[in-house]
Amino acid sequence: MSKFFKKLGANLQTTVGFFCLSAFLIWLKTYIVYQTDFTLGAQGPLQHFLLILNPIGTTLLLLGIALYFRGRLAYWLMILINLLESIWIFSNVLYYREFSDFLSVAIIGSASSVDNNLNKAIGGIIHLGDFFVFIDIIILVLLLLFKVIKIDKRKIKKRFALSITALSFFLIFADFGISNADRSGLLTRTFDNNYIVKYLGLNEYLAFNIFQTHKQDASRSAASAKDIKPILKFINSHQAPDNVQYFGKAKGKNVFVIHLESLQQFMIGYKWDGQEVMPNLTNFYHDQSTLSFDNFYNQVGQGKTSDAETMLENSLYGLPSGSAMVNYGTSNTFQAAPAILSQQGYTTASFHGDVASFWNRDNAYKSWGYDYFFSKPFYKDADNPNYNVGYGMKDKIFLQDTAQYIQQLPQPFYAKVITVTNHYPYDLDKQNQTIKPFNTGDNTVDGYVQTARYLDQAFGEFLAWLKASGLYNNSMIVLYGDHYGISDNHRPAIAKLLNKPEVTNADLANFQKVPFMIHMPGLKGGINHTYGGEIDVLPTLFDLLGVKDDNYVQFGTDLLSSKHISIVPFRDGDFVTPQYIKYQNQYFYTNNGQVIDFSKDPAAKEAIAKIQDYVDTTLSDSDKVITGDLLRFYTPEGFKKVNRKDYNYNPTKTKAALKKDLIAEPSSILARNHDKSLVDLYKTDAPELKKEAK
C-alpha cells in the first residue's frame, strides 16, 4: 500500500498527474451535483451510465487546453478552467433549486432585467453545502503554493495533448450516439432542458443553448412572408367558434386583470391552523357571478411571469429558453390585447409596483400597445423600505396607491394590476403576518401561506373599493395565477401540504394548476371543469367582450367554446388532457393518476402520439412566430400596426396626458364625480400607513 501512495505521489508531481487529478475532481463534483441537486429522472442502467459518462468528455476537452502549454502556465490554466467550471455548476445549482431548470444564455443576458431584488432571493436559496464545488480548487491551490505538488516544467508531448483532445471528442460523440439511440431526436424534438443535461451533460447543454440562441437570432433575418402561411393554416384548422351564450356579455365593460403572483389553485379553499387561508378569493371563486376554472394550468417556461403575460395578452407561448419579453419585446411586431382593445375604444394601462425595466416591461409594453404603464416612479414614497418586500411594493400599499390612477382612466378601460408580495422568498414582516407559517420543515415553502394570506387581504380591500367607487357594477374582473409558487424540487413539503405520504409525477402535473376566474355582476357563473391554460385566456376574454378574433394569430382556444381544444401543453413538451397526463417522461391516466401500461392499452399509445404531435407543432409554430418576428408579415383586417414611438411612460408626460384625457374625454369615474377623488373610499389596514397617520 505504501508503494502505491509513493507512486501516486510521484505521479502527482508531473503535469499529466495534476491533469488527471483535476479532471477526476471536476468529474466527481459534477456527478455528485447530478445526484443531489438536480432531478434529472434517470431511469435504468443505461441512463445512469450516461450520467457517469457525460461529464468526462468536455472535462478532458477543456482541461486538455492546458496541455498545449508548459510549466506554471499549464497548471494555472487548469486551476482557472476548474474555477470557471465550478462557477457554472454553482450557478446552476442555485437557479435549479428555485426554478427546476438550468441557466440559459438568454437568462444570463437578461439578468439586468430581473436583478433588483435578486440578492435577497439568492440569500434564501443558497446553502452552505453548495460551496463544496470550490473546495477542490482551494486544496489544489494550497498544494501548489506550499509546494506539496511541485510544478513540472517539462513540456508535454504534443502527440499526448492531441490524443487527449481526440479522446474527449470521441467520448462526446459516443455519449451523443448512445443518448440519441435511447432518446430519438434528442436535440430536435425535446422542449425539456433536463433531457439535455441528463443525456449529454451540463457543459453540452450550455453549448447547445448557445447554438440555439444564435439560431434564434439568425431565424429573424432568414424569415420571410411565406413562413407565416403554414402557421395560419394550422391555427385556422384548430379554431373554436365563439360561445353564443357568452359572446359579447361584457361588451363595453371595463376589464380588470388581477395578476396573482405565484398563486396556485390548491390554495383556494385551503385551510391551515383552523382557518381559511384565503377567504376573500375563495368566496369570490364560488360567487354565483364568477366563472371559475378548476382545471386551469400555468404553462410558463424560463420566463416565468413574463411568459404568463406573453400568453395572457398575445396567446403566444413563452420561449423554450429565456424570456420573449426580454429578448424580443423591443424589436418584434405584436398583435396584443392592449393594442387590439385600444383600437376599439379602450384605454389600456398596466400597474406594477417595481422598476419599469423589470422583465423589459417598459419596452415590451410599447410593442404591445399599452397606452399607460404605471411603475414604481409613479408611486409616492415607493422607495420607502417599509413599503417594500421581495420584488416590489407591498400589495396593500400598492393597490391603494393604484386607485388614484384608475379613477383617472377614461372608460371603458383595460387595466392589468400586477401583485408581487406573494413572490419567492415569501418574506413578510411580523406586523403583516396574520397566520402561522406552514410546518413542512422546508424554509422555502413555510412562509408561502403568510404571503398568500396577505395577497388575499389586499385583494379584499381592492374589491371593496371597486364596489364603493361604483366601478364594480360596470367591470369584468379577471383573476389568474401566473405560475407555481412551490417548485417540484420541494416534493416532501408538497406531500405534506396535499396530505399525501408522497407525491407522484401525476400529482406534480396537477400541482401546476393556478386560479382563473372571470367575474361580472349578472354573469352566469359556476365551476367550469374545462381543461385549459394561460394560452387560452385571450380568446376567452375576447369572446366575452364581443371582439371578433378569427383572423388573429392565437395558439389558444376559447375555454367557453364547445369546440375548445382540451390539450394543455407545457413548455417542455409535457401535457395534460382530460384523459392523459405526460409529465417528466411518465404517462398517466388523468382520472386516477395511474401509470399507463401501453402493452395493455395500445389505444392510449396511439392517442398520446396524436396529442404529442399537436403539442410539438403548436409550441414549435409559436416559437417560429416569435423568433422569426413573423407577425411583421401579417396584419389582420381592421388592425393597425403598433408604432412604438407613439408611447412614452415617463411619469411627467403620463400625468400630463391623463389630465388632458380628463378634459377631452370626461368618462373617468373621477370626472363623473366632479373631479372629487374617490381614493378616500379606499380602506386598508396596512400597518405601515396606520403608523404614519398617527
Residue pLDDT, tens place only, 30-80: 999 999 999 887 888 999 999 999 999 999 999 999 999 999 999 999 999
Per-residue pLDDT, averaged over 282-303, amounts to: 97
Instruction: Tell me the β-bridge partners of 587.
Output: 582
Question: How does 343-367 read in b/e, with b if 16+ C-beta sit within 10 Å?
Answer: eeebbbbbbbbbbbebbbbbbbbbb
Compare 244 and 104 and report the one with higher pLDDT.
244
If you average pLDDT over every residue of the chain, what do you get? 92
Per-residue pLDDT band for 480 (boundaries 50, 70, 90) equals very high
- Looking at residue 660, its pLDDT comes to 81
Q: Does residue 250 carry a pLDDT above 80?
A: yes
Please check if 305 is assigned to a binding site.
yes
Max Cα–Cα distance, the chain, nearest Å: 96
List, by residue number, the catalytic residues: 305
pLDDT at residue 217, as a whole number? 78
> Does the structure show a pLDDT above 70 at 142?
yes
Burial of 435 (0-12, 13-18, 19+ CB in 10 A): middle
pLDDT at 664 (0 to 100): 73
pLDDT(137) > 80: yes
Higher pLDDT: 192 or 273? It is: 273
Higher pLDDT pick, 46 / 113: 46
Judge whether 102 and 39 are in contact, CB under 8 Å: no
pLDDT of residue 653: 84
The per-residue pLDDT for 3 is 62
CA distance 201 to 52: 10
Closest CA to 417 of 352, 472, 355: 352
Answer whether 266's CB lies under 8 Å from 452's CB. no
User: Which pLDDT score is estimated for 111?
Assistant: 59
676 pLDDT more than 70: yes
Lowest mean pLDDT of 60-64, 298-302, 665-669, name the range.
Answer: 665-669
Question: Can you state the angle between helices 395-406 and 448-469, rounded to 10 degrees?
Answer: 20
What count of other Cβ atoms lies within 10 Å of the Cβ of residue 46?
A: 12
**CB under 8 Å to 179, separation ≥6 — which residues?**
50, 186, 199, 200
Q: What is the DSSP letter of 451?
A: H
Give the span between the Cα atoms of 661 and 499, in whole angstroms.
54
Residue pair 406/386 in contact (Cβ under 8 Å)? The answer is no
Q: What are phi and psi of 587, to 5 degrees?
A: -120, 140
- Could you tell me the sign of the dihedral formed by the alpha carbons of 80, 83, 89, 95, in that order? negative
Q: Is the pLDDT of residue 274 over 60?
A: yes
Q: What is the mean pLDDT of residues 431-456?
A: 95
Residue 42: per-residue pLDDT: 85
Residue 167: pLDDT band (50, 70, 90) is very high
Could you report how far apart the first and last alpha carbons of the chain are, in Å? Answer: 79
Q: Residue 171 and residue 318: Cα distance in Å, rounded?
A: 34
* In the predicted structure, residue 189 carries a pLDDT above the cut 90: no
> How many residues in the chain?
694
- Scan for cell 447543454, then name that residue: 205
The answer to whether 482 is annotated as binding is yes
Which residues contact residue 635 at a Cβ distance below 8 angstroms, ignoring those fewer than 6 apart? 335, 641
CA distances to 32, 203, 210 from 207, rounded to whole Å, are 21, 6, 5
**Is the N-terminal amide bond of 412 cis, ω within 30° of 0?**
yes
Angle value at C-alpha 266, between 263 and 272, nearest 5 degrees: 100
106 has a pLDDT exceeding 80 = no
And the C-alpha cell for 274? Answer: 383552523
| Highest mean pLDDT out of 22-36, 117-131, 199-213, 318-332 | 22-36
pLDDT number for residue 335: 97
Q: Supply φ then ψ for residue 96, to 5 degrees.
A: -65, -35
User: What 3-state class would DSSP assign to 347?
Assistant: strand
Band of pLDDT at residue 486, cut at 50, 70 and 90: very high
pTM of the model: 0.80
State yes or no: 261 annotated in a binding site: yes
More confidently predicted of 356 and 122 = 356
Grid cell, residue 161, equals 495533448
258: pLDDT strictly greater than 80: yes
Residue 201 near residue 168, CB atoms below 8 Å: no
> Which comes out higher in pLDDT, residue 8 or 78?
78
Q: At residue 177, does pLDDT exceed 60?
A: yes
State residue 539's pLDDT score: 98
CA–CA separation, 96 and 290 (whole Å): 37
User: What's the average model confidence in pLDDT over 239-253?
Assistant: 95
- Of 180-184, 282-286, 450-454, 629-633, the poorest mean pLDDT is in 180-184
Grid coordinates representing 572?
A: 417542455
Lowest mean pLDDT among 68-77, 437-446, 661-670: 661-670
Question: For position 666, what pLDDT does the model report?
Answer: 86
| Model confidence at 542: pLDDT above 90 | yes
Whether 390 has a pLDDT exceeding 90, the answer reads: no
Work out the average pLDDT over 410-419: 97
Q: Is the pLDDT of residue 647 over 60?
A: yes
Using an 8 Å Cβ cutoff, are 280 and 515 in contact? no
Q: Is 273 annotated as a binding residue?
A: no
pLDDT of residue 381: 86
Report the pLDDT averaged over residues 490-513: 96
Whether the Cβ atoms of residue 627 and residue 343 lie closer than 8 Å to each other:
no
Nearest to 446 by CA among 395, 404, 486: 486
> What are the CA-CA distances from residue 56 to residues 169, 172, 200 (Å)?
10, 8, 10
Distance CA 95, CA 274 (A): 35
pLDDT in tens, 531-540: 999 999 999 9
Give the residue range(s) of CATH 3.40.720.10 domains in the chain: 246-661
423 is in an annotated binding site: yes
Which tens digit of pLDDT belongs to each residue from 330-351? Answer: 889 999 999 999 999 999 999 9
Of 376, 372, 337, give the one whose Cα is nearest residue 355: 376
Query: Which pLDDT tens digit goes with each residue over 544-585?
Result: 999 999 999 999 999 999 999 999 999 999 999 999 999 998
For residue 470, pLDDT over 80 is answered with yes
**How confident is the model over 520-536, as a mean pLDDT?**
97
Of the pLDDT bands very low, low, confident and very high (cuts 50, 70, 90), residue 9 is low
Quick one: pLDDT at residue 112? 53
Phi-psi sector, 568: left (phi>0), alpha (psi -120 to 50), beta: beta
**2, pLDDT greater than 60:** no
225 pLDDT band, cuts 50/70/90, is: very high
Q: What does the angle CA 251 – CA 253 – CA 256 come to, to the nearest 5 degrees?
A: 125
Q: Which fold has domain 246-661?
A: Alkaline Phosphatase, subunit A (3.40.720)
pLDDT, tens digit, for every residue of 576-611? 999 999 999 899 999 999 999 999 999 999 999 999
Determine contact, residues 463/280, Cβ cutoff 8 Å: yes
pLDDT at 188: 65
